[in-house]
Amino acid sequence: MKALLLAAGLGTRLLPFTQNWPKCLMPIHKRPLLEYWLEALRLQKIDDIMVNRHHHADIVKRFINQPQYTDWVKSTYEPSLLGTAGTLRKNSDFFGKEAILLVHADNWSCCNFSDFILYHQNYRPRGTLITMMTFDCPTPETCGIVELDKRGQVTNFYEKVKNPPSKLANAAVYIIEPEVLSWINNNSKVLDFSTEVLPNFIGKIATWKNKNIHKDIGTISMLIKAQKDKCYLEPWSEKNLWQHEFMKHPIHQEIEVEIGVKEEDGR
């Protein structure tokens, strides 16, 4: 299995934080978000990973160029955003005929990834080509809500509608079979995975529920809430140059100030 970590977003809802720092590297417990994803995949022995870059691309590239990622993490630069399906299509040679773990890496997710992968490989309903991670969203009107049949397959989508039928949301983390990438390659005008690809695979999308932590940290409020979640990395044993500069970056102080404001407001 190979992986694509989508990390090119502009992060406009996180302004002013994203004015000088990329969304995918926002600190959680003083560690960059993308590092959590890479560590989670390393533990699953997924050692062939592509990260796409656009916003603050040079900063993301410097992060990926750290020695611990040299042999197994690659990146691709997009001068103009290609869309999630467009990025898959551009890098189809990299993925070949293997299953792909497709991750919106600006989400904050801690769960049993081993169980997620095992479900896709051995237990998903026969005939399904995609396994979608789901979670209970506390504000379902802000998420993409899914409806399921008795086998846990997707039967309908409700994208950010008022009064959705449930709070079960699409976590934007998927495992997709090679047939899905072939379909994307044969439909060159398709750009977005969630709104243009998924609807064409209704009846072939299995689901696996993340019962631990999943947050869209795309707003300042959710980024601040993520700082209280219990999901940690091993301490850095030896700070390299990138890590040293990261710890001195003003983004840490900006987040601490915002936490103080939230606490004073009682929110």
pLDDT tens for 19-59 read 999 999 999 999 999 999 999 999 999 989 999 999 999 99
pLDDT at 131 over 60: yes
pLDDT at 233: 86
C-alpha–C-alpha distance, residues 174 and 3, integer Å: 10
Name, in order, each residue with C-beta under 8 angstroms of 192's C-beta and a sequence gap of 6 or more: 83, 84, 85
pLDDT at 265: 62
pLDDT at 139: 85
pLDDT tens for 189-246 read 999 999 999 999 999 999 999 999 999 898 999 999 999 998 888 878 777 889 999 9
pLDDT at 162: 86
Encode burial over 182-200: b for 16+ CB neighbours within 10 A, e otherwise: ebbeeeeebbebbebbbee
Q: Which is more confidently placed, 159 or 242?
A: 242
C-alpha–C-alpha distance, residues 169 and 104, integer Å: 14
C-alpha–C-alpha distance, residues 78 and 54, integer Å: 5
C-alpha–C-alpha distance, residues 57 and 113, integer Å: 28
pLDDT at 260: 81
Angle between helices 57-64 and 33-43 (to 10 degrees): 40
pLDDT at 72: 96
> What's the chain's average pLDDT?
93
If one counts every other C-beta atom within 10 angstroms of the C-beta of residue 12, the result is 10
If one counts every other C-beta atom within 10 angstroms of the C-beta of residue 10, the result is 14
Domains along the chain with CATH numbers = 2-265 (3.90.550.10)
Average of pLDDT values for 118-123? 97
CA 226, 176, 36 angle in degrees (round to 5)? 25
pLDDT at 88: 97
Average of pLDDT values for 65-73? 94
Structure pTM?
A: 0.93
If one counts every other C-beta atom within 10 angstroms of the C-beta of residue 78, the result is 16
Query: What stretches of 91-147 show up as alpha helix (H) in DSSP?
Result: 92-95, 113-118
